[in-house]
Structure 1
């Protein structure tokens, strides 16, 4: 999907079409006039005299000035139409040429996702636009990039990398073994971490991040159990990039360290809950907010909680304020472990990631995260009110919260947020800017004018051989570009290595580079050994074929000799020859009658050479050739059929080939979450290639058996 510079082709085509449109030229002209007016008012002669920050400020003011005008509206409509058209054309082309497994809607979403990710990578400051994903779980690729953008802190990552290069032992906690044991126990015992169980890469990533986090704290106290829980969402999001049977790369661990430590520093005080007076005050304020939400939207839940957390007999509660105080005391005990762990272990993983997505997109909005955590806590308690009624004690309520929380789904949270809290949260996220972009919730905003799907501009139909030629050219061009990139990267690494050696500066990438070089050498050696094995097999097969041919020749010679012994050639009869000579060459003596009437001389017929009889060897060879030809013809008729049956068989064979292609692509998506790019499989190590091939073949064979059973069942009906 990705094209030049990481941008999809449809996005580049849209940019080219927009930049050449009259609407864009009119917009630039009006924008230039607005900027020129600001320069005149500010007594600045040239735009180039401004600093970068001033240029950006002037651009924003000018854009705001013309926003909402006719020129801006015309450009907005033109951009919408061109994006719609190019995205639809690219989707239709893929459906026509590459026969993907997904539907058209799936392809549209995939292409749009690639375009959004490429723009976010180019302009990270546009991460604020992710606030339009309010109340929607982020797709996997968008979630990875969004968390990374909101939790970026190059200083933290640089400190970790420098410490690894200078003294790696300082990046390991003195309680590293204890952290190791707790990580193993947590991954094996916690029910909501079932997808991570058995992954060695996830375990090593958790241990490395927590060990460095504790070492960076420079404290003699042990790491809290809740910190082991908080690192789980980060390794879950990174799990597809982490191998299951070996430790992750140093780059992956460095990114996890950067995100986790930045998240730990940005937590509200009631989440940290260290016992200080400041944190206690924040906890009381948070509990007060949760209690008010429960009374407003789930009035039965506060009564159930107050009944289970009964105060002592000498404390008499007769006022409304006293009842509210009892509710707050009970809530504090009930939700403190829940909010400390940020719902980790209390919600199943997909629901937890949805909650964390909404938390991440509001990190730059003051007050939003406190409000969001209070809303989620109130929703959890409100949805479990029927379960709380079954409890007799406060301890049972805490166990019920732990056991029943993982059964809540994303749809339940989305419904409650949309019903009661969406306008408030939306206003908090968008109070600092105004945008015409649509939101994902169809009840909250007007859709953009993308209404041209009914008049699809489908590419013209081409012949199969033309599509094959074009596809081969694209693959060759893609392979050529990939090779150029690899060569350029290798040259860059060599130059950097030579510069480092000349300057005497150590680099932390040397070890990784040596590993890559060793892996490449190992791959070449394995490839060489595989080719040598193939050559030896071919040589053995050729020698075996020659031996069998010699044996067949000797057997044929033996049969020929036996046949010649059974049918000896008879000698020519002397009598027949002499009688023939006497009849043809020596005329009989004349008789008296012959003189009386002499008949006319007979017509001389030219002698004809008789066809020579075949020898027994030729007869045997001719019979064997006829016999082998008949066997070959019979085998061809059996294998390929004849007439209409042959056409049916060819069609079924073609269908099986297409089905195999679809099975391979679907297996890649099912097992690895994506389709392999051209050349990606060849770059893998032989063991990884064998492992992935075995997994895909197992899954494809399962599908084949299911289809065969289904066909047999339909045939019986």
Structure 2
């Protein structure tokens, strides 16, 4: 690939050949004579006494004085020949060395572009030569360099870097600016390619935070200033751009953005109602639209007259329609390529005050969307059409429309300074004296009567204008007084309504308070009655608890008697009865009575536990040996009892009888038979016990009773 060193080599060779040519020597001699002529006319003795700007001005005028001569044409021809020879020689050398990946045309274009960029970097004052790219989109590297030359301001960059070094380059709303920047990159359709670019978000935050700090206001940055930075950011982050750090890109963007904000047209810094220039721009756009498509202007006026219910002029309608787009220089309304093309045309004319391409591009923007705008019925639909259909417009469409309708006018404005109001005399050329004046059109001559009539007309118009202003002022005062009276009547009516509302609320709240007092009184009476009833019940319970205490003592005495019976009688019958009796007594007592720290339930449970332990010891013994002896005695006793029952049945009935047969015997005979059976069983048992005692085998005491 061709490097910058190759570009410098062929350009330097061409420069050496030009400087050594005879044409260049003749031209410099003639230029020296022209400079002397300019110094003589300006009464300057020594060229070195002039300032640098004055030297450049004298040289420029001297060059213009001789640029129509033969020597100038010969020198230009020599320059073209040398440049062409050296350029094609360099291209042939590169192709001979093996660079076959690029065509000859591509190599030539690359060298020319690099040569121009090299000259612009060495001589930034030649940036005016970029006017030749009017209505042409600049290549990416050309665009980056051109914007850099027009928006360069080293002082701004130095101030920013010093603030960064002191850690004072951030606004108090830095976090808010960062979040809004990320949201803008994520939501704006024309910048979706920067959505996930963290460098872009950080650069936006750094630049806008510093810019907001310079403003010295507590208000938020308007959305317009976020949008105006995006094209500069796009150019700085171009893939073909040198790989720079985030801080370097931020410093570059700060310099370009602040310079651009200071150089932007006046009508962008003020609202259209505050600046007459904004009205002039809109008026020029309206004229262009009316000239190109009257049907479209009729549709536009009709749309905005419906919205405001008055017949709006085309100027007012264009203002409503284009003000958002013009305030952001079409950022958000065009695709990135088309937007950068429009900004190219704007930036190359920043050094020319008479050049203003806004009206032309605004009119072209509307005319290219005429088919969509004619179908709109409301301002909202117009705005939606501009936002959605604008990004579909291409660079070629803009170029074609500008070329056919507005190129000549824009070109003349861009090169207006090239035309001198008076000719520069070339002392080396033989020109007829006063030839310039003979070519100037003589202005028309007016008579005194005409001037007097014109003066009267102007005075009459001025008088009518003053009367109209006075009439409008009186009408304005009358409207203001009428509005004030209506406002006062509305306020009085509102005051009366408010008083009535407050009075109704007061009465209602008073009634509510009375009802609340009555309700609380009734609740208090009911509570007092309930408290009295509870106190009576407490007294009754206390008396009942005292009675229950003596009943427990009586029960304990009965339980002791029952224990004696259990120890010498049948356990299975007496123990459940005793437990049931104790439960009936304790269940009727209050669980809150305590005797020596124990409640009735606790005392009863302790007593039952001791009874169960005693009964278990009596029935089963204290160890395994005693339990075995008791079990053997019990089995023997049960067998003896069974035999006694059988013997008693035979003695009473003469045969064995079942319990069912006994139950079938009617009363009172059944009761008598049961007594006989019981007596017979007791007699037989006592006889057996006596016999056992006689032989020394007594196992049970005499007081055993069968219940």
> How high is the TM-score relative to the length of structure 1?
0.55
* Residues 310-459 of structure 1 mapped to structure 2, 5 A cutoff: 310-311=305-306, 315=310, 317=311, 325-369=312-356, 372-433=357-418
Root-mean-square deviation over aligned CA pairs: 2.5
Alignment partner of 1:306 is 2:288? no
Distance 1:43 1:389 in 2: 65
Deviation at 1:35, TM superposition (A): 3.0
Larger CA Rg, structure 1 vs 2: 2
Contact 1:17 1:82 in 2 (8 A): yes
Q: 1:43 to 1:234 in 2, by over 3 A?
A: closer
Q: 1:434 to 1:11 in 2, by over 3 A?
A: farther
Distance 1:197 1:313 in 2: 38
Q: 1:62 to 1:176 in 2, by over 3 A?
A: same
Cα deviation 1:562-607 (Å, max 9, x = unaligned): xxxxxxxxxxxxxxxxxxxxxxxxxxxxxxxxxxxxxxxxxxxxxx
Deviation at 1:44, TM superposition (A): 5.4
Contact 1:202 1:242 in 2 (8 A): no
Name the SS for the 1:363 alignment partner. coil
Structure 2 counterpart of 1:98? 98
Alignment partner of 1:278 is 2:263? no
Cα deviation 1:39-63 (Å, max 9, x = unaligned): 5566655544444344333322332
Alignment partner of 1:80 is 2:65? no
Name the SS for the 2:417 alignment partner. coil
Distance 1:35 1:375 in 2: 41
Structure 2 counterpart of 1:291? 286
Distance 2:260 2:296 in 1: 32
Q: 1:289 to 1:243 in 2, by over 3 A?
A: closer
Contact 1:304 1:385 in 2 (8 A): no
Distance 1:234 1:87 in 2: 33
Structure 1 counterpart of 2:58? 58
Structure 1 counterpart of 2:672? none
Deviation at 1:37, TM superposition (A): 4.2
Q: 1:283 to 1:37 in 2, by over 3 A?
A: closer
Q: 1:297 to 1:161 in 2, by over 3 A?
A: same
Contact 2:354 2:416 in 1 (8 A): no
Q: 1:185 to 1:63 in 2, by over 3 A?
A: same
Distance 2:102 2:369 in 1: 38
Cα deviation 1:510-564 (Å, max 9, x = unaligned): xxxxxxxxxxxxxxxxxxxxxxxxxxxxxxxxxxxxxxxxxxxxxxxxxxxxxxx
Alignment partner of 1:266 is 2:236? no
Q: 1:285 to 1:313 in 2, by over 3 A?
A: closer
Structure 1 counterpart of 2:156? 156
Q: 1:350 to 1:314 in 2, by over 3 A?
A: closer
Contact 2:354 2:414 in 1 (8 A): no
Contact 2:307 2:378 in 1 (8 A): no
Contact 1:151 1:262 in 2 (8 A): yes
Distance 1:62 1:367 in 2: 25
Distance 1:118 1:3 in 2: 9
Contact 1:205 1:248 in 2 (8 A): no
Deviation at 1:34, TM superposition (A): 2.8
Distance 2:308 2:181 in 1: 44
Structure 1 counterpart of 2:213? 215
Deviation at 1:283, TM superposition (A): 3.1
Structure 1 counterpart of 2:121? 121
Distance 2:42 2:135 in 1: 43
Q: 1:300 to 1:28 in 2, by over 3 A?
A: same
Name the SS for the 1:171 alignment partner. coil
Structure 2 counterpart of 1:16? 16
Cα deviation 1:634-675 (Å, max 9, x = unaligned): xxxxxxxxxxxxxxxxxxxxxxxxxxxxxxxxxxxxxxxxxx
Structure 2 counterpart of 1:205? 203
Distance 1:83 1:408 in 2: 39
Q: 1:25 to 1:274 in 2, by over 3 A?
A: same
Distance 1:243 1:200 in 2: 17
Cα deviation 1:206-231 (Å, max 9, x = unaligned): 11111111111010101111211111
Q: 1:52 to 1:173 in 2, by over 3 A?
A: closer
Distance 2:327 2:22 in 1: 56
Contact 2:174 2:209 in 1 (8 A): yes
Structure 1 counterpart of 2:432? none
Distance 1:12 1:215 in 2: 47
Contact 1:300 1:385 in 2 (8 A): no
Cα deviation 1:676-706 (Å, max 9, x = unaligned): xxxxxxxxxxxxxxxxxxxxxxxxxxxxxxx
Name the SS for the 1:432 alignment partner. helix
Contact 2:141 2:241 in 1 (8 A): no
Distance 2:314 2:43 in 1: 63
Structure 2 counterpart of 1:239? 237
Name the SS for the 1:98 alignment partner. coil
Contact 1:384 1:404 in 2 (8 A): yes
Higher mean C-alpha displacement, 32-41 vs 178-187: 32-41
Deviation at 1:264, TM superposition (A): 1.3
* Residues 24-39 of structure 1 mapped to structure 2, 5 A cutoff: 24-39=24-39
Distance 2:261 2:240 in 1: 22
Q: 1:47 to 1:119 in 2, by over 3 A?
A: same
Distance 2:72 2:407 in 1: 29
Q: 1:22 to 1:388 in 2, by over 3 A?
A: same
Deviation at 1:427, TM superposition (A): 0.6
User: Among 249, 252, 255, which residue is 1:252 paired with?
Assistant: 249
Distance 1:368 1:41 in 2: 32
> How high is the TM-score relative to the length of structure 2?
0.56
Structure 1 counterpart of 2:147? 147
Distance 1:45 1:184 in 2: 63
Deviation at 1:32, TM superposition (A): 2.6
Greater RCO (CA < 8 Å, at least 6 residues apart): 1
Distance 1:384 1:35 in 2: 54
Q: 1:69 to 1:394 in 2, by over 3 A?
A: same
Contact 1:345 1:402 in 2 (8 A): yes
Distance 2:171 2:286 in 1: 40
Q: 1:303 to 1:45 in 2, by over 3 A?
A: closer
Deviation at 1:249, TM superposition (A): 3.5
Deviation at 1:331, TM superposition (A): 1.7
Segments of 5+ residues of structure 2 without an aligned counterpart are 421-707
Distance 1:243 1:64 in 2: 38
Matched length = 419
